[in-house]
C-alpha cells in the first residue's frame, strides 16, 4: 500500500538532458504559480555549447555525459526532470526489464531514480514515442518506472493549447513515489498572435534568396495576415498563422515567415516560450539547434505547476494511485478503470 505523501512547500530539482534550460524556466514559473520554493541542485548535458548557454543564464555549469555520472554524485532532490533524446527508442521496445535497458539513456534516468528516489519525476519526449514499436517502447518505459515503485501516467500535449503559436506535440510522462492528487493541465490558453512574437525589422541576412522566395510564391499564394510557411519533405508548402514544430536539424528554409525570411534566434526562442531575458551567447547555427531541441516552456510549466501543487498538498490518501486519465484510482484496481475513492 502506498504511503501518504507528506505536505511541504520547499523542493529541490535536477535538470537532466537540460539543453539550454527549457525545463528550468518552466520550473521557475511553476514554483511561483504553485506557491512553493524550488531550487535547482544539478543539471547535465553532454553538449558544451548548451552547458555554456545554461551557465550564462542560470549561474551554474551543468555536468556532462550522464552515462559517466554516478548516481551518488548527484545531490538529493525531490523532483527529477529529463527531456531525454529519442536516440534509444529503437532498442528499448525489444527489452524485457530494467537491466535490459542498460546502454540506453532511459536506463540512466531509471538508475538515478532508483538510487535517489525523488518524490516525482517528469520526462518529456517526442510524440512518436507513444506509437513507436506498436507501443512497446512506451510500455517498457512505464513498466520500468512502475517496477521502481512509481505511479506513472502520460499525456500528449500541444504547445498550441498553451498559448504558443507553434504546433509542437510532445509526450509528458509523470511519476509519483507517493499517492498524490494530480490532474493534467487542460490547456485552453488563447494562442499568442505571430505578430506578438516576431521581430519588427529583422536584418537583411534573414531573408531568403530571390530564387527561393520566387519558388515559394509559385506554390503558395501570399496571405494578408502574417503566416509561417512550412515546406514538407515532398516539397509541398502550407501557410499557417503559427509555426510548425521547430526542428534542430531542419533545412534553413524549412520555415519562412510570409514565405520570405527565416526566423531569428530570438523568435525561435519566443516560439518555445523562452523569456527575452534569456541571453543568447551562441552563433545563429547553435541557437537554432538549441531552440529546436528545446521543450515548449509553458506546456512544461503547466504540467509542473500541477505536479508541485499535488506534492505541496500531499494527500494522506492511502488507497489510491494515479490512473491513465490523471484520475485517482483504488489500489489494486485494473489500470485504466475508474473507481471510487475508498479513503481520503
Ligand X SMILES: C[S@@+](CC[C@H](N)C(=O)[O-])C[C@H]1O[C@@H](n2cnc3c(N)ncnc32)[C@H](O)[C@@H]1O
Whichever of 159 and 328 has its CB closer to ligand X, that residue is: 159
Distances from the Cα of 211 to the Cα of 98, 215, 238, 251, 253, angstroms? 53, 6, 18, 16, 12
Site for ligand X in 79-118 (CB under 6 A): 83, 85, 105
Q: How far is the CB of 297 from ligand X (least distance, A)?
A: 8
14, 20, 243, 304: residue in contact with ligand X (rule CB under 6 A): 20
Which residue from 44, 51, 286, 317 is in contact with ligand X, where contact means CB under 6 A?
44
**Total residues interacting with ligand X, rule: CB under 6 A:** 20
Residue 235 or 249 with smaller CB distance to ligand X: 249
Shortest separation between residue 318's beta carbon and ligand X, angstroms: 35
Using CA atoms, how far residue 297 sits from 123, 145, 176, 192, 338, in Å, is 14, 24, 21, 14, 31
| CA distance linking residue 33 with residue 39, whole number of Å | 15
Please say which residue, 83 or 265, places its beta carbon nearer to ligand X: 83
Contacts of 285 (CB under 8 A, 6+ apart): none
326 binds ligand X (CB under 6 A): no
Q: For residue 255, which of 225, 227, 286 has the smallest C-alpha distance? A: 227
Give, as ranges, the residues between 260 and 299 that touch ligand X (CB under 6 A).
Answer: 293-295
The catalytic position among 18, 86, 145, 320 is 86
- Return all residues near 134 (Cβ < 8 A) that are at least 6 apart: none
Grid cell 514565405 — which residue? 259
Residue whose CB is less far from ligand X, 67 or 223: 67
145 is an active site residue: no
Contact 165, 193 (CB under 8 A): yes
Angle between helices 105-116 and 136-147 (to 10 degrees): 20
Work out whether the CA dihedral 196, 200, 206, 211 comes out positive or negative: positive
Q: Select the span of 17-25, 193-201, 253-261, 317-325 touching ligand X (CB under 6 A).
A: 17-25
Distance CA 74, CA 341 (A): 37
Counting contacts by CB under 6 A, is residue 45 touching ligand X? yes
The x, y and z cell numbers of residue 4, run together, are 501518504
Nearer to ligand X, 247 or 312 (CB): 247
Shortest Å, Cβ 77 to ligand X: 16
Within 47-76, the residues that bind ligand X by CB under 6 A are 47, 50, 65-67
Residue 301 near ligand X by CB under 6 A:
no
Residues within the interface to ligand X (CB under 6 A): 17-20, 22-23, 44-47, 50, 65-67, 83, 85, 105, 293-295
Catalytically active residues are: 86
Amino acid at each position: 500500500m502506498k504511503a501518504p505523501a507528506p505536505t511541504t512547500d520547499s523542493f529541490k530539482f535536477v535538470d537532466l538532458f537540460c539543453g539550454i534550460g527549457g525545463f528550468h524556466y518552466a520550473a521557475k514559473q511553476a514554483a511561483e504559480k504553485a506557491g512553493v520554493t524550488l531550487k535547482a541542485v544539478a543539471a547535465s548535458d553532454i553538449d558544451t555549447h548548451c552547458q555554456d548557454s545554461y551557465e550564462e543564464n542560470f549561474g551554474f555549469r551543468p555536468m556532462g555525459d550522464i552515462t559517466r555520472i554516478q548516481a551518488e554524485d548527484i545531490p538529493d532532490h525531490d523532483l527529477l526532470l529529463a527531456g531525454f533524446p529519442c536516440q534509444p527508442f529503437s532498442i528499448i521496445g525489444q527489452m524485457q526489464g530494467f537491466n535490459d535497458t542498460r546502454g540506453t539513456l532511459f536506463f540512466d534516468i531509471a538508475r538515478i531514480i532508483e538510487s535517489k528516489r525523488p518524490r516525482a519525476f517528469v520526462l518529456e519526449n517526442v510524440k512518436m514515442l507513444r506509437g513507436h514499436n506498436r507501443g512497446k517502447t512506451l510500455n517498457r518505459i512505464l513498466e520500468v518506472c512502475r517496477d521502481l515503485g512509481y505511479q506513472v501516467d502520460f499525456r500528449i500535449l500541444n504547445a498550441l493549447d498553451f498559448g504558443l503559436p507553434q504546433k509542437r506535440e510532445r509526450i509528458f510522462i509523470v511519476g509519483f513515489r507517493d499517492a498524490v492528487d494530480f490532474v493534467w493541465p487542460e490547456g485552453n490558453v488563447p494562442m499568442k498572435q505571430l505578430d506578438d512574437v516576431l521581430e519588427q525589422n529583422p536584418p537583411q541576412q534573414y531573408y531568403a534568396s530571390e530564387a527561393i522566395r520566387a519558388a515559394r510564391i509559385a506554390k503558395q499564394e501570399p496571405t494578408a495576415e502574417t503566416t509561417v510557411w512550412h515546406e514538407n519533405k515532398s516539397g509541398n508548402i502550407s501557410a499557417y498563422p503559427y509555426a510548425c514544430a521547430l526542428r534542430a536539424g531542419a533545412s534553413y528554409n524549412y520555415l519562412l515567415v510570409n514565405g520570405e525570411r527565416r526566423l531569428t534566434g530570438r523568435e525561435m526562442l519566443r516560439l518555445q516560450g523562452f523569456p527575452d531575458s534569456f541571453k543568447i551567447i551562441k552563433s545563429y547555427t547553435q541557437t537554432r539547434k538549441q531552440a529546436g531541441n528545446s521543450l515548449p516552456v509553458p506546456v512544461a510549466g503547466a504540467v509542473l505547476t500541477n505536479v508541485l501543487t499535488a506534492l505541496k498538498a500531499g494527500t494522506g490518501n492511502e488507497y489510491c494511485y494515479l490512473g491513465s486519465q490523471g484520475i485517482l484510482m483504488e489500489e489494486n484496481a485494473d489500470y485504466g478503470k475508474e473507481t471510487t475513492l475508498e479513503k481520503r
